[in-house]
């Protein structure tokens, strides 16, 4: 596959959507699933909601493209990923990202789904959620096409990382789920990824510790603890409903910033768990939200 001079992939079939974007220079690739079985179903749902992806991958591996890769698509919604500053409730990675969408039902599969079409696995951010243990399986053809697409995109643009929608909208979206191999995909990236916002633990007194939790809540399993002064990197701040957020809201959106952040604690560029940001010396939040963090 190859991205041509018009920023279309030569092998892709055009499939236009009603939503139109603006110019961008992509540096991030975000992988999704559609919660539909077919491209036609995805197009109908997206046009109704004025949303969009750059690329669709059908079950048989056929690739569809909705716009040039240097045009924004309305695919990530409220999202944040390794931002160094100025994160607010309305932050989004819509500009600067390419959205790839598998035709796939995700964890919204019927109980009788054949075993051959079912992937059993746990989402790393919510491993104990009983509703997210069985997933609609991606086909080999889809996975092969996706790898070819990412390789072609990487040869055209300086891509720093390939992530899931579940990475940049933790708690708000759960696609593409646990079966997609991001390590393999990121081997094709042409630039080194950042580590995320660097800070250190700031507690009330030296004897205190900051818990690392399995999921973004105080009742979740404790995976470890950090001491006063320990360094870490904030990868992504989790989302939740208004009542569990920092700033709340009056509309029906489910994605509001919470006090919980996915962190890397050893510069391995991996999710170590969640910490309460009230125990951090600083965060990439805008000052108003930083000031509202509850104290430990």
* pLDDT tens digits, 176-235: 999 999 988 888 877 778 899 999 999 877 789 999 999 999 999 999 999 999 999 999
- pTM of the full structure: 0.94
The SS3 call for residue 224 is strand
Backbone φ and ψ for 289, nearest 5 degrees, come out as -75, -35
Q: What are the chain's domains?
A: 13-186 (3.40.80.10), 197-291 (2.30.30.40)
Separation between Cα atoms, residue 26 and residue 186, nearest integer Å: 15
Backbone φ and ψ for 38, nearest 5 degrees, come out as -130, 160
What pLDDT does residue 217 have? 94
Pair 260, 246: CB distance under 8 Å: no
Sorting pLDDT into bands at 50, 70 and 90, what band is 13? Answer: very high
Does the pLDDT at position 31 exceed 80? Answer: yes
Read off the tokens for 15: 């499939």
The SS3 call for residue 200 is strand
Separation between Cα atoms, residue 98 and residue 70, nearest integer Å: 8
Whole-Å CA distances, 61 to 8, 92, 273: 17, 29, 34
Task: Calculate Rg over the CA atoms of the chain.
Answer: 19
Task: Look at residues 105, 117, 109, 123 and name the one whose alpha carbon lies nearest to residue 42.
Answer: 105
* pLDDT tens digits, 90-147: 999 999 999 999 999 999 887 788 888 999 999 999 999 999 999 999 999 999 999 9
Separation between Cα atoms, residue 87 and residue 100, nearest integer Å: 24
Task: Look at residues 69, 73, 53, 64 and name the one whose alpha carbon lies nearest to residue 12.
Answer: 64
Question: What is the residue whose two structure tokens read 């660097």?
Answer: 198
What pLDDT does residue 81 have? 97
What value, to the nearest 5°, has the Cα angle with vertex 162 and ends 221 and 260? 30
Question: What is the residue whose two structure tokens read 């999704």?
Answer: 32
Q: How many CA atoms lie within 13 A of 84 on its CB side?
A: 2
Sorting pLDDT into bands at 50, 70 and 90, what band is 296? Answer: low
Does the pLDDT at position 295 exceed 70? Answer: no
How many angstroms from the chain centroid is the CA of residue 188? 18
Pair 167, 40: CB distance under 8 Å: no
User: Where would I find the H helices in 157-265?
Assistant: 165-168, 182-186
Separation between Cα atoms, residue 240 and residue 257, nearest integer Å: 6
What pLDDT does residue 192 have? 78
Question: What is the residue whose two structure tokens read 């909705």?
Answer: 66
Biggest alpha carbon distance in the chain? Answer: 61
Separation between Cα atoms, residue 33 and residue 39, nearest integer Å: 11
Q: Which helix (H) or strand (E) holds 117?
A: none
């Amino acid at each position: 596959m190859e991205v041509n001079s018009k920023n279309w992939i030569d092998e892709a079939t055009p499939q236009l959507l009603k939503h139109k974007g603006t110019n961008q220079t992509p540096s991030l690739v975000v992988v999704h699933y559609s919660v539909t079985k077919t491209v036609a179903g995805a197009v109908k749902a997206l046009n109704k909601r004025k949303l969009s992806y750059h690329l669709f991958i059908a079950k048989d591996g056929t690739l569809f493209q909705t716009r040039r890769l240097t045009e924004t698509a309305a695919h990530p919604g409220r999202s944040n990923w390794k931002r160094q500053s100025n994160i607010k409730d309305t932050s989004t990675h819509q500009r600067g990202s390419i959205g790839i969408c598998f035709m796939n039902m995700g964890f919204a599969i019927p109980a009788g789904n054949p075993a051959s079409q079912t992937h059993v696995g746990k989402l790393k951010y919510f491993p104990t959620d009983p509703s997210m243990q069985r997933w609609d399986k991606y086909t080999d053809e889809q996975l092969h096409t996706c790898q070819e697409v990412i390789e072609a995109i990487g040869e055209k643009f300086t891509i720093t990382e390939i992530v899931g929608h579940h990475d940049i909208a933790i708690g708000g979206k759960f696609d593409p789920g646990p079966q997609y191999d991001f390590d393999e995909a990121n081997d094709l990236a042409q630039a080194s990824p950042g580590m995320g916002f660097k800070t250190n633990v700031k507690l009330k007194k030296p004897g205190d510790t900051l818990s690392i939790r399995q999921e973004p809540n105080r009742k979740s399993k404790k995976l470890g603890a950090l001491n006063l002064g320990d360094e870490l990197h904030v990868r992504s701040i989790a989302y939740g409903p208004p009542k569990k957020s920092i700033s709340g809201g009056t509309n029906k959106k489910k994605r509001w910033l919470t006090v919980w952040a996915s962190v890397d604690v050893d510069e391995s560029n991996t999710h170590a768990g969640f910490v309460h940001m009230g125990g951090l010396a600083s965060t990439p939040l805008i000052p108003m939200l930083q000031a509202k963090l509850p104290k430990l």
